[in-house]
Every structure is written in C-alpha cells, then in structure tokens.
Amino acid sequence: MDSCEIWQEARVNMSAEKSHLEAFEVGDKSVSPGRTVAEADIVMFAGISGDWNELHTNAEYMKKSSFGQRIAHGMLTLSIASGLALRARQNLEVLAFLGMENVRFLAPVFIGDTIRVESEVLEARPSKNRPETGILKFRNTVKNQRDEAVATWENVLMVHAGTKEKKP
C-alpha cells in the first residue's frame, strides 16, 4: 500500500460522526481535498496583506531568481492550508482557534501547484477550565502534487465535549 492509499484510508476512518472531542484519538489521521493555487490568489492576498514583494508579483524579476518563477506568499499557503484542513474535518464544530506553533515553510509553492493537507491528532483532552469543551491539537503537513512537503504547523482548537446532536 503506497502513502496515498494509506492517507485515503485514514480519511475514511475520520468519518462524519466525529463531531466532538470524544470521537478523536491521538494518532487519528486525515487528508484534505486538494486546491490549486492560482495567480488570482496571489494578487488578492498581496492586496489584502499589503505584501507586494517582487517574489510574488514580478514575473520578469523572478525568472532570474533561484526559483525561476513567482512564488506564493508563505502566509497565503498557510491560509489556504488552514481552510483545507478544516474541510477534512467538516463535521467538527470548532468553538475557538486557540493558536498555532512550529510553523515551517519547507519549499516554495508556485502558481499552478495543487496543495493538500495531511493532519494527525497529537492531543485530545478535556478543557481544564470549561468542562463542556475539549482541546484538540493537530500536526499538519502541506504537500504539493509531487507529494513534497512545502509547509508544516501545529494548531490547537477548542471543540465541544460529549456527544452532540447534529443541527438541522
């Protein structure tokens, strides 16, 4: 079984009923759908963030660089990846995003690259301060269409504890 088949099987194991803390166990894995990074993403992110660095916006300048072409902003890659990771856990109701740590950008993301996120549960515990909630910590790896890791990060979420009925 190759790594893609393993991750597809892991995705099936994180099924729709996992919408609360108790449904997650340390070691559970998921994989998101893919998303292609477009030139429009880079231009819109530059406008929103104010980061118009030539690395991202000047095709002629970047032809002469070691990358040979424009690269996506690291924070754009992380933003897209964060949304993709949530799509892999679409039945999880997140109460709060508590933070992220250990963010690393490992390789460039180019216009036209398709990225996906592979996630693993590192921690699943009840909240110390709010008994009706729990804390989930995930390790996330962003991979491109060549299965190369381009970024990693860990994030911590507050979620409901106990079985909750699905909202209509």
Q: What is the pLDDT of residue 168?
A: 40
Distance, CA of 66 to CA of 75 (rounded, Å): 20
Secondary structure (3-state) at 7: helix
Among 134, 140, 131, smallest CA distance to 101 is for: 140
pTM higher than 0.95, yes or no? no
Residue 166, domain member (yes or no): no
Residue 71, domain member (yes or no): yes
Residue 148, domain member (yes or no): yes
Q: Per the structure, how many domains does the chain have?
A: 1
Distance, CA of 61 to CA of 151 (rounded, Å): 24
Q: What does the pLDDT profile of the chain (168 residues) look like in tens digits?
A: 555 555 555 555 444 454 788 889 999 999 999 999 999 999 999 999 999 999 999 999 999 999 999 999 999 999 999 999 998 887 888 899 999 999 999 999 999 999 999 999 999 999 999 989 999 999 999 999 999 999 999 999 999 997 544 434
Strand partners, 133: 160
Residue 69, domain member (yes or no): yes
Distance, CA of 95 to CA of 36 (rounded, Å): 28
CATH of residue 78: 3.10.129.10
Distance, CA of 33 to CA of 21 (rounded, Å): 23
Q: Which domain covers residue 114, as residue numbers? A: 3-160
Q: What is the pLDDT of residue 8?
A: 55
Residue 167, domain member (yes or no): no
Q: What is the pLDDT of residue 5?
A: 59
Q: What is the pLDDT of residue 93?
A: 84
Phi, psi for residue 156 in degrees, rounded to 5: -125, 130
Q: Where are the alpha helices (DSSP H) in the chain?
A: 3-13, 39-49, 54-57, 59-63, 74-88
Residue 65, domain member (yes or no): yes
